[in-house]
Every structure is written in structure tokens, then in C-alpha cells.
Structure 1
Amino acid sequence: MNHFEKFYDETEKANVRFVGFSTEEKRYDFGIVYSHMFFGKPLVICMQSGRSTLLDTKDLKDLEFLQKIFHIESKKQAQDLATFFYTAIPILSLETQYE
């Protein structure tokens, strides 16, 4: 391990939520890992594509970001996802983690 500089190595018991739902246009299956790491942003994993990202409520306002990260075809689908995630993602007061 002499070739690597370790930045962190943390273990925590995380709360994980699995949710499947459908909209008028599409079915979704997500795993949401709530953690104290990464500014408290949950790790959101699309179980269909394997794509994942850290999300907070500010990220949900950027529909183009949601489209890109989850390969969503339309703004309507991205808006549907954002609407769901507003109920599933905690509102965070961000503190500086890195200086």
C-alpha cells in the first residue's frame, strides 16, 4: 500500500432505502444510501442502470444534471424524478468538509 495516500477509511452503519415506482412514462428502481459522509448527501443508485450520484435538494433544481446522470430522455421525466426525490432527500445545511 506504499503507492497510495489514504484520504479516509470510515465504516458506518448506513440507513438504506429501496424504492420502486412508476410515472406515466417510466418505471424507476432506486437504492438510496443515507450517510454522514460527503456533506451528508445521500448516495442515489439507479438499480436499472447502475448509475449513481450524490444528491441534495439543490441538485434537484438542475433537471439537465438529473437527465445526464441517470440517462433520462425528457425534461418531464427529470421533473418527475425531482418531485420524488424532494420527498426522499433530506434538506441539508452544508458545512465545509474540506479546507
Structure 2
Amino acid sequence: MNNRYFLYDDKEETKTRFVSFVGETQRFDLAIVQSQRFYGKQLVLDLQGSRFAIIGPDDLEEEGYLEYAFKLSEGEAAELRSFLIQTI
């Protein structure tokens, strides 16, 4: 038998927004999850690219963060950033 050591096992009501939009360079299909778990930040899931990041306003100002987290070019990240600035 495999003994598991849980660090936590919580259930929580969340609010999820599903949004899809087409920018100049690509289509974005996102799920944006609001939760109490992330200290005011939101969980942003890229449904096409199978990537996610916990993002707050401070992260959007950090140079190269979206490019790294979602494996985007500079132009693609700029489009995503302009949307997320209005949303987060």
C-alpha cells in the first residue's frame, strides 16, 4: 500500500472566465481562474498551448515574464499583456 503525505487537500469555490480572442499574430484561448489561494493573483491557463501561470498586475510589468511562462514571442506577449492588463 502506498502511503501519501498530503501537504494540503482543500476544496474551494472559484470563479472562472473563459475567453477567446484573435490578436494580430495568433488566437488566444484562455481560462482565467479567480481563487483565494493565490493572494490576489489569478491563474491564467492557455488552453491551446497547455501552459499556465499565476499572474498579478506586478507580473505583467515584469519584462519577459509572459514570454517565458507561455513560450511566446515578444509581439505575442504584448498582445496578451494588453488584454490581461484590462482583466487582472
TM range (shorter): 0.7 to 0.9
Query: 2:56 — aligned with what?
Result: 56
Q: Residue type of the partner of 1:32? A: I
Counterpart of 1:7 in 2: which secondary structure? coil
Consecutive unaligned residues in structure 2, runs of 5 or more:
none
Q: What is the rounded CA distance, in whole Å, between the counterparts of 1:76 and 1:63 in structure 2?
A: 13
1:16-61 per-position Cα deviation (integer Å, ceiling 9, x unaligned): 0000001111110000110000213111100001101100010001
Bigger mean CA deviation after superposition, 41-50 or 6-15 = 6-15
Number of residue pairs aligned between Structure 1 and Structure 2: 87
**% same residue:** 33
Q: TM-score, normalised to structure 2's length?
A: 0.88
Query: 1:84 — aligned with what?
Result: 83
Q: What is the rounded CA distance, in whole Å, between the counterparts of 1:3 and 1:48 in structure 2?
A: 32
Q: TM-score, normalised to structure 1's length?
A: 0.79
Counterpart of 1:40 in 2: which secondary structure? coil
Consecutive unaligned residues in structure 1, runs of 5 or more:
90-99
Counterpart of 1:31 in 2: which secondary structure? strand
Cα drift, residue 63 of structure 1: 3.8
Cα drift, residue 71 of structure 1: 1.0
1:55-95 per-position Cα deviation (integer Å, ceiling 9, x unaligned): 0010001241101111102x222111111001111xxxxxx
Q: CA RMSD in A?
A: 1.5
Bigger fraction of residues in strand: 2
